[in-house]
Amino acid sequence: MQYRKFGNLDWQVSALGFGCMRLPIINGDSANIDQEQVNQMIHRAVEAGVNYFDTAYVYHEQKSESALGKALEGGYRERVRIATKSAVRFLETTDGFDRMLDEQLERLQTDSIDFYLLHALDRDLWRKVHDLKLLERAEAALADGRIRHLGFSFHDSLEVFKQIVDGYDAWTFCQIQYNYMDTQFQAGTPGLHYAADKGLAVVIMESLRGGKLALDLPATRPIWESASRKQKPAAWALQWLWNQPEVSVALSGMSTLEQVEENIATANVSAPGQLSADEVALLERARQTLQALSPIPCTRCEYCLPCPNGVNIPLNFDTYNQAAMYNDLEHSRFAYNRFVPADQNASNCIQCEECLAKCPQHIPISTWMPVVEEVLGLKRDYVQSV
């Protein structure tokens, strides 16, 4: 296993981190985790040198932490670092922070959580963190040893990301969505560099975009086949991340032992600066090819903003386009209802057409918005969070 610097800590993290959001399940029931398979997968990962395991209070309908705790019995816990997350979205009182944390410690069968994150922060949740004085509660947990390091995971704009990074002096690390398709999405490459320059470790989630970048897609197959080095799409996507020294650890939500073995093999040959110029160009071709499948030719230039009705036009279009790029309507519906704020989604468009003259791509924005809402706007009570 290759190891990498983790921010300013005197500790090195395995290049591959084990994400516990997509564990093997029984009969399609997210809450019914196949513990026997999980044990086998996690034990294999630990034996191979993986030392960072990421879970959260809400994963697998609140069963993921317990599954990880059980898998780390028998001496495995002492060989790894655990990261889990406070579900800020569901906290209503300041005291709720401690009740949730104590429950997580029990689930994980541990006295201390190595890396604790405030989960999925955006502009509104960052305000909630201050309103409920959650940073003060986290500092108390740091002082009494229930947690060892504090960080946050993130889903919002680059501007908000910088505000959160700069809004608290004691962050050890952060977690962002990042892959070769998401270089300008949310924190993106600028956010990666911003946090790393501040001394924060940067943990990468959605390394494979929920498995989409591991697919053998007809559109990108000729690109991978043209490479002198033959490897699967997932390996290319992970190597793109590990090529960047600012990346501390890339998480992968593995669901099978085969995926564990493949990712270990890829991580074993990873290193910053390993990809050749031709290979970097190959990945750029794959990105451009997938983007070309988008039905709406939005470049996210944001000339259309601000919308007088608050619609985040580029975010709505990007969410819609992803359904076509990866042939995955269900995930785009989830993203639309979970990550596009209600006051910024397509349903707020009143066809005023103020944006039309501003768009350099001449996109009929006001025509597309009802389509986006009709296709993606199926409200659901999602219990899984990312």
Query: Does the pLDDT of residue 380 top 70, yes or no?
Result: no
Contact between residue 122 and residue 160 where contact means Cβ atoms under 8 Å apart: yes
Cα–Cα nearest to 200, from 269, 283, 277, 117: 117
What is the overall mean pLDDT for the chain? 93
Q: How confident is the model at residue 385 (pLDDT cuts 50, 70, 90)?
A: very low
Q: Is the CB of residue 39 less than 8 Å from the CB of residue 9?
A: no
Supply 363's token pair. 């996109």
Distance CA 17, CA 325 (A): 27
Q: For residue range 75-119, what is the model confidence (pLDDT) as tens digits?
A: 999 999 999 999 999 999 999 999 999 999 999 999 999 999 999
Token digits of residue 359: 């768009």
Domain ranges in the chain with CATH number 3.20.20.100: 3-283
Cis (ω within 30 of 0) for the bond into 306? Answer: yes
Decide which of 213 and 13 is more confident.
13
Tokens of 379: 């409200």
No. of helices (H) and no. of strands (E), the chain: 15, 12
CB atoms under 10 Å from CB of 351, counted, come to: 12
CA distances from 213 to 210, 233, 237, 376 (A): 8, 6, 7, 22
- pLDDT (0 to 100) of residue 326: 84
Say if residue 299's pLDDT is above 80. Answer: no
Handedness of CA 376, 92, 200, 20 (dihedral sign): negative
Q: How far from 230 is each of 217, 226, 270, 277, 279, CA to CA, in Å?
A: 16, 9, 15, 16, 11
Residue 35, classified by CB atoms within 10 Å of its CB into exposed (0-12), middle (13-18) or buried (19+), is middle
Tokens at residue 153, please? 């995971």
Per the CB < 8 A criterion, the answer to whether 33 and 70 are in contact is: no
3-state DSSP call for residue 339?
Answer: helix
Domain at 3-283, CATH homologous superfamily:
NADP-dependent oxidoreductase domain (3.20.20.100)
> What angle separates helix 365-376 from helix 329-339, to the nearest 10 degrees?
100
pLDDT above 90 (res 376): yes
Strand pairing report for 25-26 and 29-33: antiparallel
Report the predicted TM-score, pTM, of the whole model to 2 decimal places.
Answer: 0.83
**Token couple for 90:** 């569901």
> What are the backbone dihedrals phi and psi of residue 249, each rounded to the nearest 5 degrees, phi first?
-150, 140
Can you tell me the distance from the alpha carbon of 254 to that of 323, in angstroms, rounded to the nearest whole number?
Answer: 22
Check residue 205 and give its pLDDT.
94
Query: pLDDT tens digits, residue range 27-79?
Result: 988 899 999 999 999 999 999 999 999 999 999 989 999 999 999 999 999 99
d(CA 101, CA 99): 6
pLDDT, one tens digit per residue, over 266-293 is 999 999 999 999 999 999 999 999 988 8
pLDDT of 248-272, one tens digit each?
A: 999 999 999 999 999 999 999 999 9
